[in-house]
Amino acid sequence: MKTILRISRAELRNLFYSPVAWFLAVVFMVQCAFFYNRIVYAWARMQELGMKTAKFKGFDLSLTKSMFLNPDGMFVNAMSNLYLFIPLLTMGLLSREVNSGSIKLLYSSPIKTRQIVFGKYLAMMVFNLVLITIIGFFMVSAGFNIKSVDYGLLIAASIGFYLLVCAYAAIGLFMSSLTNYQIVSAIGTFIIVLVLSRIGGLWQKFDFVRDLTYFLSISGRAEKMLYGLITTKDLFYFFAVICMFLGFTLLKLRSVREVKPWYIKAARYSGITVVVLLLGYITSRPALIGYWDTTDSQANTIHPRVQKIVKGLGKEPLEVTLYTNLMGKNGSLGLPENRNNYLSELWEYYVRFKPDIEFKYEYYYDAKPDHYLFRAFPGKNIHEIAKELAKSMDLNLSHFRTPEQMKQIIDLEDEDYGLVMQLKYKGRTTFLRTFTDNPWPGEEHVAAAMARLQFPKMPTILFTTGNLERDPNIMGERGYSISTTAKPQRVSLINNGIDIDTINLEYKDIPYDSMNIAALVLADPKTELSETVKKKIQDYIGKGGNFMVLGEPRKEDIVNPVLKPLGVQFEKGVMVQLSKHNAPDMIIPFLTNTATDLAEEVMLLKLKSKQFDSLFIRSETVLPVTTLDSSAFTVKPITIAMPDVWLKKGVLVRDSVPPVYTATEGDFKNDAFHTTVGLTRKINNKEQRIIVAGDADFISNKFLGGDYFGRALYSWLDNNEYPVYSPRPIYKDNLFLITPETADLLITINTWIIPAILAIIGTVIIIRRKRK
């Protein structure tokens, strides 16, 4: 060990007595300072502007991540340029010894080859710490510049950076042993690093080499660490790459001192490579991978609620089959070349908690008769079109099942032949869908799918029919399918664990035993409810069932007989709110504090935490809800219309001059009209929840299913069991502690003064060395 340290010290003296090391340190300092200070100054100015308004309470993001890890952040840019620095440092590690003749002295001395290699490499590891020290300077600076900086994230990123630069150094050391010319060594190092960075994207169509090239790829191995997730798989990868190239260097130096046939030398190199690949394969098995999420918000770990559902699957295997249609939506994401991205971007988070997930893949082509491809290729049948597509994408069509072959396995017409996953567990199956906006499903969708496999009865929202009510299954603007049954919509209830069904209460009883009924919905009936229907609804409410009533103007008398026993009713008339841009019966109600407790929707959480002063929704043709003295429920307003709204009792003309408030016709104003209310009471040892809304349009397809608010209402009626929300804590590092003037001063200090000091120190050391 002493010999290794002596060699290392000698090599460090050579490094720091040469201008290259100092030049690279100065350039690296300037580069880091440029990217760090530019972002600090820009954000500090934005914060100063924001703080001039009373509403600003901090940025809605992590400043630590933004400054260090965004595409224009310091870490990302420093790592992207590492391949330019390391070859210049390592190019003379061994070639310099050969050119000066000192290698002969080392060979003739009692020093062993491995001591030479380890000593040289240890020197590079120490110099790499200089680069980490420079980065550490900015990390410490961030602690003074940002409130509650996320040091866990920065430490993990630093570890990833250091391992990456050490891997580059091992490659450079090996290339230095191959040639006497330093420039050739530098170019060779650059080429090897480039190959290892790009090899992960090569030959991904072929199953045989996909995992091999993906393992060898150095690109992205430090990426998870950059974002705060340390895994044993990635740690071993860097350890393996370093050991492999150090081993190659040892073999190269030993080959100079011994005469062996070429095939023995080749076998040694091959042996090291095979051992590294074998160990890499073993350590990348899901059951053997360890994880450490260092971020303050556990941003790289699925929510505890989702973890509970995943762990609920137990030791029984879960089978996931990805069905990829050459002609379908998102089909390219399921092709073999994107398989590793599919596993890492979607499933790795869940494999961490259930490593025995088995992944299967099916490829086919099929399309409905009205598919646009039949218009794009007129006169061609589906097989000919598929052949053209496969040719354009450089795919072998024989790897794809025909429509006839696929239907013998499964019929995916109901899934519109899109990219979809089928989950199978203990004989049960369910679909996990992809979407058009952000294709891969989120945590709530995966949790819902896994819950369907575990529980035989998922909660069901029952919509009444028989009186021309709104339909949850149609796509028209009056329908509700976007928020309920639309499979391509990530917000729809069926993709979030809640089933939808309809029932005609005139002819059927409510199926209490065969269904897990979350709520009954009476949505804008247009004909008189029979006594049978009313009685069944009252019986359902009397048993403590959750209920939602959606009314519309001129139909108050149809619904009020159901509402009055609850202690509320709809007022007759239509609400008016004059606006330059909207029709007079378009109302903009605001959400109350009660609304923030409906569900853990992001927008509602922000309103609750005072990140927003207010939130509103859009409603069309609205009735106010009033509370009667006889109410047995606790009634709380969820949305209210403000004082510039009045109730129009007479006829409302929408398409001529603006309506006029006429008290003689019965019009009246109020401080705040309640347009949606929530009713609660304790019954049968549980809380009964009822929603009464004076508008049936705000959760219709016309208004995108009510977006977050509509989903929150359904969640509240389901006692917040589904969707499985996975909210993240509010970022603590969301404020700067410095002013733009201080940030401007930091630019001068970090970009000019400190690098200049480093350059002067290096110059003095080199000049003094030369004088000696």
Report pLDDT digits (tens) over 454-491.
998 999 999 999 999 999 999 888 999 999 999 999 99
Residue range 55-59: average pLDDT?
Answer: 77
Give the confidence band of 444 by pLDDT, cuts at 50, 70, 90: very high
Tokens in use for 221? Answer: 């191995």
Tokens in use for 261? Answer: 């046939």
| 50 and 9 in a common domain | yes
- Please indicate, yes or no, if residue 14 is contained in any of the structural domains: yes
- At residue 562, does pLDDT exceed 90? yes
Give the confidence band of 772 by pLDDT, cuts at 50, 70, 90: low
Residue range 195-211: average pLDDT?
Answer: 67
Residue range 219-246: average pLDDT?
Answer: 88
| 485 and 391 in a common domain | no
Quote the pLDDT of residue 304: 94
The answer to whether residues 276 and 244 touch, using CB atoms and an 8 Å cutoff, is yes
- At residue 426, does pLDDT exceed 70? yes
- Please indicate, yes or no, if residue 439 is contained in any of the structural domains: no
- Please indicate, yes or no, if residue 518 is contained in any of the structural domains: yes
Of 144-148, 255-259, 680-684, which range is least confident?
Answer: 255-259
The answer to whether residues 75 and 226 touch, using CB atoms and an 8 Å cutoff, is yes
| 404 and 478 in a common domain | no
Q: Where are the alpha helices (DSSP H) in 510-589?
A: 531-542, 556-563
The answer to whether residues 621 and 553 touch, using CB atoms and an 8 Å cutoff, is yes
- Which is more confident, 337 or 520? 520
| 533 and 652 in a common domain | yes
- At residue 21, does pLDDT exceed 70? yes
| 309 and 289 in a common domain | no
Quote the pLDDT of residue 387: 93
- At residue 103, does pLDDT exceed 80? no
Could you tell me which of 348, 321, 320, 360 has the C-alpha nearest to residue 224? 348
Q: Which domain holds residue 423?
A: 304-433
How do residues 576-604 score in pLDDT, each as one tens digit?
Answer: 888 888 888 888 999 999 999 999 999 99
| 308 and 285 in a common domain | no
- Measure the CA–CA gap between 519 and 516, rounded to whole angstroms: 9
| 747 and 712 in a common domain | no
Give the CB-side neighbour count of residue 144, counting CA atoms within 13 A: 9
Could you tell me which of 11, 9, 2 has the C-alpha nearest to residue 169? 11
| 397 and 261 in a common domain | no
| 428 and 366 in a common domain | yes
411: number of Cβ within 10 Å: 12
| 218 and 89 in a common domain | yes
- CB neighbours of 499 closer than 8 A, spacing ≥ 6? 458, 459, 460, 461, 493
Could you tell me which of 610, 765, 581, 737 has the C-alpha nearest to residue 48? 737
- Please indicate, yes or no, if residue 449 is contained in any of the structural domains: no
* The amino acid at 656: S
pTM: 0.89
| 95 and 211 in a common domain | yes
| 122 and 75 in a common domain | yes
Structural domain total, the chain: 3
- At residue 639, does pLDDT exceed 60? yes
Quote the pLDDT of residue 308: 94
Could you tell me which of 168, 169, 177 has the C-alpha nearest to residue 197? 168
